[in-house]
Structure 1
């Protein structure tokens, strides 16, 4: 790995621009970005939509990682999803007329992490226990709940991506 000599992100010290209570979320997103970029470096585009044991493809995980962060941070901001976000959700992992490259999907994730980190840095800690409705059913959560789930969900899919990419690199 490119960052083998560095400690994990959470052990590199506080993030100056991020409120203290949100640092673990920011650290997890930064760690995920580092690992994902390293993992996908040199991964062939032709394997992007391949499945292992009928599990999700690397392309799905890359799209989903980006989309979930976008959606959860939208809810945390107290907003409903737009038609564009709903369209993105329904297209995750499905073949389209556009042929995505690994680089495009990794870059989209990197941009979404930057957007998410900016939102974390601008979050007032006094709002972390504020109620937020999730989805069309407006299921109950809090701002901190949404942010925490975004980090947990990101790491869960990164783990799945690591296994899938490892198997595909070994030939299948």
Structure 2
């Protein structure tokens, strides 16, 4: 199958947002391929004490929410901080985790589309220390951070299921 960035889609948006959106599309496709159909036990499994699939899927969309909040020039809410602290919680249902992932990914894609290309160089601060970056830097990090965690989730699925490669 051809990856999203090679399909010639999303030509109505500039190249930066297009590539971020394509990375998020690929993340969604990979999660559907590898994680849909996991049992509750499989989504929460932590073989060799590595992070669970549930953690990675929650962390992806909750991180996207936080990164885009900074890109939009806002600080994190108490609810966002509380959800950050619960990402590692066990006992999640696979259905709930996948629903959160799908909804969070769709929301992130809408927010990426709303970012103005003229704002990419706008300075932004991240976290309590207001570490320096830009709107464009945050957008690129949305793509690379998401892909990193999707890869970890897929690897975890393979370990949990004992997939031979």
Q: Which of 116, 122, 142 is residue 114 of structure 2 equivalent to?
A: 122
Q: Which of 158, 161, 165 is residue 169 of structure 1 equivalent to?
A: 161
User: How many angstroms apart in 1 are the aligned matches of 2:13 and 2:98?
Assistant: 24
- Identify the range of structure 1 (73-82 vs 111-120) with the bigger mean alpha-carbon deviation: 111-120
Counterpart residue number, 1:10: 5
Q: Which of the two has greater helix per residue?
A: 2
User: How many angstroms apart in 1 are the aligned matches of 2:62 and 2:115?
Assistant: 20
Counterpart residue number, 1:154: 146
Structure 2: runs of 5+ lacking an equivalent:
none
Q: Could you state the TM-score of these two structures normalised by the residue count of structure 2? A: 0.93
Q: Kindly report structure 1 stretches of 4+ aligned residues shifted beyond 3 Å.
A: none
Structure 1: runs of 5+ lacking an equivalent:
1-5
Q: SS where residue 133 of structure 1 aligns? A: strand
User: How many angstroms apart in 2 are the aligned matches of 1:51 and 1:157?
Assistant: 15
The answer on whether the counterparts of 1:64 and 1:92 sit within 8 Å (CA) in structure 2 is yes
- Residues 35-71 of structure 1 show CA distances to partners (whole Å, capped at 9, x for unaligned) of 1011112211112221121111111111111111110
User: How many angstroms apart in 2 are the aligned matches of 1:50 and 1:75?
Assistant: 32
Q: Could you state the TM-score of these two structures normalised by the residue count of structure 1? A: 0.89
- Identify the range of structure 1 (84-93 vs 17-26) with the bigger mean alpha-carbon deviation: 17-26
